[in-house]
Amino acid sequence: MDMSTATHTVFSKRATQLTSSAIREILKITERPEVTSFAGGLPSPEGFPVPELRAAFDKVLDNQWASALQYGRTEGYTPLREWVAAQMSREGMTVDTDEVLIVSGSQQALDMLGKLFIDPGSRVLVEAPSYLGALQSFSLFEPQFQAVPTDERGLVPEALTDDLTRDARFIYVLPNFQNPTGLTLDRPRRQALVERCADLGLPIIEDDPYGELRYAGDPQPSLLKLGRAVGASVIRLGTFSKVLAPGLRLGYVVAPREVISKLVQIKQATDLHTAMVTQMAVYEAVRNGFLETHLPKVRALYQRQCGYMLEALKAYFPTDARWTHPEGGMFIWVTLREGIDTTQLLQAAIARNVAFVPGAPFYAGVKAPTNTLRLSFVTVPEARIRAGVQVLGELIGPAR
């Protein structure tokens, strides 16, 4: 006979503050096949290199199974770390293998950076809006979020006043095709940002999951490269989720040695190390320049999809709505006229089998506007993009 479990269980303060997101609950129903969902952050499975990954797993389990199945080094599989270092060095800087740590997706890097930097009450600077998963991850360490103002060009470096940045532990930035806005920080702002952070001694966390998915405009230098040149401490996060496949859960951190060395100790306590078999298979898949032939196909796919969505927005959204025109990545950010509440709009849209993510949850440390929303365009077929955007346009109604 099972009895009910004890009622005296005391959770930590951080766990008590965790609440089930109302939006997450709503979005659960978007998994129904009849729903056209612009809500997800899923890469397109059309971009998954299945035969190459299958061959890579086979090769590793045929020839290197004893290492692939055994415990491994916390730092990660050395040849994969070397490959990441070489990739970073393409920008014309020298990145050493011991400045690279392999992690279980870059989400894990955010958790470990929270552990590394945040005490309860520590000030943490984030873009307004910023990646929701980062806000959730940092939240577990009970920081005080401070929103950094942004405009239609993204983060505003001049806003990093002494007052705003005082005692801040780091600034978290997504410079390319930002999640959620799709905006890219231009070269002058990047330069101003790293110079300001170097002056302040403020570490920059540069999260770049989409950088390789640029399909328009010119590539911009990384904050890592620009920051190194002026003495800023930059911690750069990358991932294989968008260039290969997210189900592998594989990412990396590039950072100064003293940061990597602390992160290695933290990662050992967190999960010992990332799965060896996936690290070795991914290394097999990418070692001979495979991404150079693979990525152009993924970029072309995403560009097409983005185009479908932009056309539909132009056709069906009211003239008083504004939206971003991303040069890469997966997201378009829409700002509707004042007075529209996109959380209510979502309820109405769900009733008509269309879903998106309202913008408010992407803000921390500032009052969130209620009239923004994020649209993901990569996994929905063209006709459904058109029909779904039309539904949203009808629900929003004509310009006033």
Residues 49-108 that bind a copy of itself (CB under 8 A): 50, 53-54, 57-58, 61-62, 65-72, 93-94, 104-105, 107-108
- Phi and psi at 245, nearest 5°, equal -165, 140
The one among 30, 130, 137, 335 contacting a copy of itself by CB under 8 A = 137
Structure tokens at 393: 């346009």
> For the range 133-140, what are the long-range contacts, defined as Cβ-Cβ under 8 Å and sequence gap of 24 or more?
133/107, 134/110, 134/172, 134/207, 135/361, 135/362, 135/364, 137/107, 137/110, 137/111, 138/110, 138/114, 138/172, 139/14, 139/17, 140/14, 140/111, 140/114
- End-to-end alpha carbon distance in the chain: 65
Of these, 81, 228, 294, 374, which contacts a copy of itself (CB under 8 A)?
Answer: 228
Confirm or reject binding of residue 230 to a copy of itself (CB under 8 A).
yes
Number of residues that bind a copy of itself (CB under 8 A): 96
CB 42 → a copy of itself: shortest distance, Å? 6
CB of 119 to a copy of itself, least distance (A): 5
Those residues with Cβ within 8 angstroms of residue 275's Cβ, 6 or more apart along the chain or in another chain: 104, 249
Structure tokens at 166: 């005082």
Contacts to a copy of itself from residues 271-330, by CB under 8 A: 271-278
Question: Does the footprint of a copy of itself cover residue 351 (CB under 8 A)?
Answer: no
Helices 276-286 & 290-316 angle (0-180, nearest 10)? 90
User: Can residue 141 be called a binding residue for a copy of itself (CB under 8 A)?
Assistant: yes
In the complex, minimum distance from the CB of residue 141 to a copy of itself, in angstroms, rounded to a whole number:
7
Residue 378 vs 392, nearer CB to a copy of itself: 378
117 binds a copy of itself (CB under 8 A): yes
Q: Give, as ranges, the residues between 156 and 215 that touch a copy of itself (CB under 8 A).
A: 169, 197-198, 200-203
Element housing 103 (H / E): strand 100-103
Amino acid, res. 237 = L
Report in angstroms how near the CB of residue 306 gets to a copy of itself at its nearest. Answer: 20
> Residue 47: phi, psi to the nearest 5?
-90, 0
Using the rule CB under 8 A, which residue among 191, 220, 233, 335 binds a copy of itself? 233
C-alpha radius of gyration, the chain, whole number: 22
Instruction: Point out which span in 251-259, 303-311, 325-333, 380-388 binds a copy of itself (CB under 8 A).
Output: 251-259
Query: Which contiguous run of DSSP H or E holds residue 306?
Result: helix 290-316
| Interaction of residue 20 with a copy of itself, rule CB under 8 A | yes
Of 15 and 351, the one with the shorter C-beta distance to a copy of itself is 15
239 near a copy of itself, judged by CB under 8 A: no
